[in-house]
Structure 1
Amino acid sequence: MRKICKIFLSIFLIILFSSSISLSKINKKILMIIAQQNFRDEELLIPKKLFEKEGYSVVIAGTSLKPAKGMLGAVVTPQILIDQVRVDEYDAIVFVGGVGAKEYFNNSIAHKIAKEAVSKNKILAAICIAPRILAEAGVLKGKKATCWAEEGKNLERKGAYYTGRPVEVDGNIVTASGPQAAEEFAKTIIKLLKTKK
């Protein structure tokens, strides 16, 4: 009888432990912000797939709720508008690149999201030309960052230390150079999410 009780207790603890791990991941939400036209497909789809594989919930935001089109033909419908974003609800905010990301360079709402993410100790990430959004928001000043090479000077102009590396991390800010770095970019964000309490 004692043996049976021990077995049941062991099974119960295993189930409880594994469910608490999955719940802690499910409770983590990642916001990915895309352009309405010409976001870079791999920079959205590769990280999204890796985030979801790890059990994180991904929400896509844009300037319209109509289907958004990627540079390589992907079609994705944003779930929320960027002016509806509540930074408190997310553990990470990710700006996706592609030539369409220029629509956010001077977008005050995008800048507000970036600033709030930093002030609330969230992970803030951007890839390709999207790190310029962070630079224009003023959150890269004094920070190491990378981006699509053509935007490097614009990051420096706003006070960032442009490194040119595929992926760069400075505190809770993650930047990446382009689609070829999409997987490393996503894995870096996941690693930071796992180390944050």
Structure 2
Amino acid sequence: MANQELESNMRKSVDATQRTFNTIRTGRANPSLLDRLSVEYYGAETPLKSLATISTPDSQTISIQPFDLSSLSLIEKAIATSDLGFTPNNDGKIIRINVPPLTEERRKDFCKLASKYAEEGKVALRNIRRDAIEKIKRMEKEGEFSKDQSRDEQESVQKLTDKFSNEIEKHLAEKEADILKV
């Protein structure tokens, strides 16, 4: 069994889960909060980060400087209509977003969202595990593996799954601590 390929696929799932965690607000401004945001630009959905420079001048402000000033109002509209709950301030050159501190209720909601993302990541890992184990069983049936080899391979797949699942749990715990920190 191509263990490196399996490990690579599981690593990608963990990394994707980590990137998803980064889109969840904590009490501080962070450019990655806008990672999922896309803007209708010349008739095509374009990721915000390809239209503008996004920075955080301080812990409560996100600054967005568009490369093309004509896209300023489109970016402002995309932020205002998104589910992020931000109100953009446009001064004609730069859009500033004030990131208000989170309420206790909002923090709990974001922890639930982080748990949901972690569970989705673990489901992806389990799907990879299931495919790998089916492949091992098929190889055993075709005579490429003995019963012992098949069992050993399945155990190693399970160990890899557990390792990456624990990694997702660790990232979730860090994210929840980050969200709850005032």
Q: Max radius of gyration: which structure?
A: 2
Pairwise same-fold verdict (TM > 0.5): no
- Higher percent of residues as helix: 2
Q: TM-score, normalised by structure 2?
A: 0.25
- Report which structure shows greater RCO (CA 8 Å, sep ≥6): 2
